[in-house]
Amino acid sequence: MRKEAYEALEWASSFLKQYGREENAARLIMQHVKKCSYSELVMHMYEDLTYVEWMEFQALVKEHASGRPVQYCIGYEEFYGRKFTVNESVLIPRTETEELVYYALQKIERMFGQEPVTLVDIGTGSGAIAVTMKLEAPQLQVTATDLSERALEVAIYNANKLQADINFGLGDLTEPINHKKWDILLANPPYIAFDELPLMSDLVLEHEPHNALFAAEDGLQLYRRLAQEAQQCMNEKALIGVEIGYKQGQAVAQLFQESFPGATITIQKDLNGKERMVFCEIV
């Protein structure tokens, strides 16, 4: 049966709405099937899909409707303009984390200029932060670590695919990197409190790795450990940047202020006006 891309999207949007899914996922799936950008899709909206494209499109739409995140269905998520392969071993990169990268790049430029400084991304997951930092600022000497061997496999794959020269380490928080001092430390650790679990989407709870989402002590456990352990790992002049839950700004800032009394601590809001990052500038 002949089916225009436009008609297929109309069907998919209606179908996904019935299952309480984001209708926008239909467009992402169509771009994946057609192997095109959004602008290219708009230009060819009224062209017929091939039989194979229509079959693949239907299958992916139904897979997403069943509860699997669309990024896992199509196998990637865009981050800072690049496609990162993702699967159930890693979190799906979020737009808020793009803002962590953006502000970190600004602060690095101001603090270090074009010096070949060292950077570690702790809990790298898909490698989105580490790979992006290396590609946006090639002078950085980047290392990425994770507690999960499967997550590291995904990060290594993305680094190779995107041609980013990065070192990798397997282990818990600073364990793989505490043999030397670092200029920059970035992290997006698990920060969701366990009592927030009932508020989470089923797409997240049933598919994304819980060890990358939840943390004890109202979500602050890993920030407390990181602030303490980082004292032994950072150079005299250094930058630490972490993504946080939107209610955790003051608490996380206090933890780093206690570990680095002379540092400048700033809480950065995201584009939605929510506190989303804490930066610790050590000089």
Q: Which helix or strand (DSSP H or E) is residue 264 part of?
A: strand 264-269
Is the separation of the CB atoms in 4 and 46 below 8 Å? Answer: yes
Please check if 85 is assigned to a binding site: no
Please check if 80 is assigned to a binding site: no
What angle separates helix 25-34 from helix 5-18, to the nearest 10 degrees? Answer: 140
Please check if 118 is assigned to a binding site: no
Please check if 146 is assigned to a binding site: yes
Please check if 218 is assigned to a binding site: no
Question: How far, in whole angstroms, is CA 197 from its chain's centroid?
Answer: 20
Please check if 169 is assigned to a binding site: no
- Coil, strand, or helix at residue 198? helix
Please check if 24 is assigned to a binding site: no
| Continuous H helices in 183-248 | 202-207, 221-229
Please check if 191 is assigned to a binding site: yes
Please check if 132 is assigned to a binding site: no
Provide the sign of the torsion angle of the four alpha carbons 281, 216, 228, 189, taken in this order. negative
Question: How far, in whole angstroms, is CA 180 from its chain's centroid?
Answer: 26
Please check if 189 is assigned to a binding site: yes
The angle formed by the CA atoms of residues 131, 136 and 139, to the nearest 5 degrees, is 90
Binding residues for S-adenosyl-L-methionine, as ranges, are: 123-127, 146, 188
Binding residues for substrate, as ranges, are: 188-191
Binding residues, as ranges, are: 123-127, 146, 188-191
